[in-house]
Amino acid sequence: MTALAPALLDFELPARLEAATPPEERGRGRDDVRLLVTHRAAGRIEHGRFTDLPDLLSAGDLLVVNRSATIPAALSAEVGGEAALLHLSSPRGDGTWVVELRHRDRDGRNSPWLDAAPETTLILPEGATARLLRPTAQGIDPGQKVRLWLAELDLPSSPTMFLNRYGAPIRYGHVDRDRPLAAHQTVFATEPGSAEMPSAGRPFTCELVTALVARGVAIAPLLLHCGVSSMEAHEPPADERFLVPAATAERVNATRRLGGRVVAVGTTVVRALESAALAPGLVLPADGWTELVIGAHHAMTAVDGLLTGWHEPRASHLAVLEAFVGSELLETSYRAALDRGYLWHEFGDSHLLLP
């Protein structure tokens, strides 16, 4: 494993470690996945199960969760007579959408369509169309690969109605087949809007939440709708809509004031809370769009720990993890996960980073 640059780890991810099916289809419960724990202060890691979470947290700690629900954001499309997929990522204030265009591969899977051009028109079900306007990233050089576009949609009904009728959950190549939308929801999901599931929360069950509360661990919700992320280095994370309620902001501030730990369930929660933080220990209610990009040297002002999944090589989310535990301990954690056969992606195992 080699550090390419601050916060970016480069490693080979064997196909056998890419979870193709949910644990429920492997004869297990949602919460019956593995959990690697990284302790920053002690400089050590330990291995356990996700159901150990109540024993790893203490009375007075706070878990902040994302209540965004996944939408069926993948649409069948046609481009110049070729079958394609269009992923609707997030709406913009001017009525356009951030989208991702993908090839339909012969094996039934799909791959990024990286050489599209502005003004390309996609034919969608029921005669609807999507017209690519420009890349979302500014200053794209000729010949650079483009994964995310701004697009103008012409639909016969509202986007919500259209997706509910013709859409399916986004599925990438590591997942073996399409599944019902319920397989892509977390127990916290209440408001539809995420193109990709806030997957850090997927292993939670009602029984585990009850055990956490009985332990004295509080749970507070916020909202951040997850868009499609790009692996291209020149395409930074897109703006995302988020909401930090007053009650959650107050709970975060009180937890830190009383010496408890605030643990974010997912990098989306980190982005939302840090966007709403005015100063260390002071989170304000917030409702809007965040442009915050958290780098490896970001000093966390609202969050003490992170519960997340296992991220792909060179993924921008690795910078968020490095901000919590540093590059050396993060590299140690990922090497251990690879050596021990942890499973990656939304149906895989989990990683808890503690102070």
Q: So what's the architecture of 2-70+180-354 in CATH? A: 3-Layer(aba) Sandwich (3.40)
Report the phi/psi class of residue 139: left, alpha or beta, with left for phi > 0 and alpha for psi in -120 to 50: left
The answer for residues whose C-beta is within 8 angstroms of residue 106's C-beta and 6 or more apart is none
Other CB atoms within 10 Å distance of the CB of residue 141? 6
Relative to beta strand 148-154, strand 191-194 is: unpaired
DSSP conformation class of 287 = E
Phi, psi (degrees; rounded to nearest 5) at 286: -150, 145
Among 143, 99, 91, 140, residue whose Cα is nearest residue 121: 99
- Are 185 and 68 within 8 A, CB to CB? no
pLDDT of residue 61: 99
Indicate the pTM of the whole model: 0.92
Per-residue pLDDT 10s for the chain (355 aa) are 333 334 457 889 999 999 999 999 999 999 999 999 999 999 999 999 999 999 999 999 999 999 999 999 999 999 999 999 999 999 998 889 999 999 988 776 788 898 899 999 999 999 999 999 999 987 777 677 888 999 999 999 999 999 999 999 999 988 988 999 999 999 999 999 999 999 999 999 999 999 999 999 999 999 999 998 755 555 566 788 899 999 999 999 999 999 999 999 999 999 999 999 998 889 999 999 998 989 888 999 999 999 999 998 888 889 899 999 999 999 999 999 999 999 999 999 999 999 9
Q: What sign results for the dihedral spanned by CA atoms 293, 348, 325, 219?
A: positive
Q: Which of 145, 127, 129, 136 is nearest to 86 (CA)?
A: 129
Closest to 96 in 3D by CA, of 104, 108, 88: 88
- 266 by Cβ neighbours in 10 Å (0-12 / 13-18 / 19+) ranks as buried
Q: What pLDDT is stored for residue 35 in this prediction?
A: 99
- The DSSP letter of residue 168 is B
Q: 81: which residues sit within 8 A by CB, 6+ positions away?
A: none
Q: What is the DSSP string of 43-94?
A: TEEEEEEGGGHHHHS-TT-EEEEE-EEE---EEEEEETTEEEEEEEEEE-TT
